[in-house]
Amino acid sequence: DIVMTQSPLSLSVTPGQPASISCKSSQSLLHSNGRTFLYWVLQKPGQTPQLLISEVSKRFAGVPDRFSGSGSGTDFTLKISRVETEDVGIYYCMQSIQVPRTFGQGTKVEI
Amino acid sequence: QVQLQESGPGLVKPSQTLSLTCTVSGGSITSGNYQWSWVRQPAGKALEWIGRIYTTGRTDSNPSLTSRLIISRDTSQNQFFLQLTSVTAADTAVYYCTRDAQRFDGTWDVFEQWGQGTLVTVSS
């Protein structure tokens, strides 16, 4: 299985300030078709998870542009340019290049 | 707008079979560039992918569960199913059904739609 490792596991942020989460995979997520199958999912408190970012950097419909994803190969980053109170929750990175799909441990973001 | 809804028993006895249904409305499970998955989350723990069924009916599963897992569907009811045999307390979790969708540019939005989730407790 591909192991996804996130850091930090907990992050305390101030509204209006930037925040960054790292995700490293144990194998490259670059497919032979040129796509990289790395995703970011947010689970707000008491809510169903929601997709934020697809294939490293493509925001899902309706996701604010303060969220951005970057990286390549085995090293990826999710950035929030200016954190808002509604951004609290647990952020997971996930890979879908190989079965089984695997998630990181999650990063808890608190205000 | 597609909607997914999980249903099934909230309590299952150890060694028995956990059976869940995902009812899909607003979209067909047999057409389009979609894949349909099950994901679970034990309380306070990370998400775990269980398996998926394609629009063709082909399935994939997490190798850690394959020996106990069946994913199937009823196309007439637009439903897909999860059956997990010989359950233990470790299978206690919130179970979600989800959908992947492919954009026009080929991008895959994995887990772009989620059901509300259903809690299954394994206990005697």
Total beta-carbon pairs less than 8 A apart between chain A and chain B = 63
pLDDT band, very low/low/confident/very high, at A58 (cuts 50, 70, 90): very high
Cα–Cα dist B58/B47, whole Å: 23
Residue A37 has which token pair?
């199958």
Name every chain A residue with its beta carbon within 8 A of the beta carbon of B67.
Answer: none
- B19 membership: H or E segment, kind and range: strand B18-25
pLDDT band, very low/low/confident/very high, at A80 (cuts 50, 70, 90): very high
CA distance B104 to chain A (A): 13
pLDDT band, very low/low/confident/very high, at A91 (cuts 50, 70, 90): very high
What residues are paired with A64 via a beta bridge? none
CB-nearest to B114 from A49, A54, A106 is: A49
Sign of CA dihedral A45, A46, A51, A56: positive
Burial class of residue B106 (count of CB atoms within 10 Å of its CB; 0-12, 13-18, 19+)? exposed
CA distance A101 to chain B (A): 6
- Taking the Cβ of residue A69 and every Cβ of chain B, the question of whether any pair is shorter than 8 Å is answered with no
Cα–Cα dist A29/A60, whole Å: 19
Sign of CA dihedral B101, A99, A20, A75: negative
Cα radius of gyration (chain B):
14
- Strands ordered across the beta sheet of B3-7: B3-7, B18-25, B79-84, B69-74
Mean pLDDT for all residues in chain A: 97
Chain A neighbours among B 36-75 (CB < 8 Å)? 37, 46-49, 60-64
The residue ranking higher by pLDDT, A63 or B1, is: A63
Percent share of chain B, pLDDT over 70: 100
CA distance B27 to chain A (A): 18
Chain B neighbours among A 7-46 (CB < 8 Å)? 35, 37, 39, 41, 43
Whether B63 sits inside 8 A of A99 (CB atoms) is yes
Whether A37 sits inside 8 A of B110 (CB atoms) is yes
Minimum CA–CA partner of B43 in chain A? A46
The string of pLDDT tens digits covering residues A36-54 is 999 999 999 999 999 999 9
Residue A56 has which token pair?
């490293």
CA distance B12 to chain A (A): 23
pLDDT band, very low/low/confident/very high, at B64 (cuts 50, 70, 90): very high
Whether A100 sits inside 8 A of B49 (CB atoms) is yes
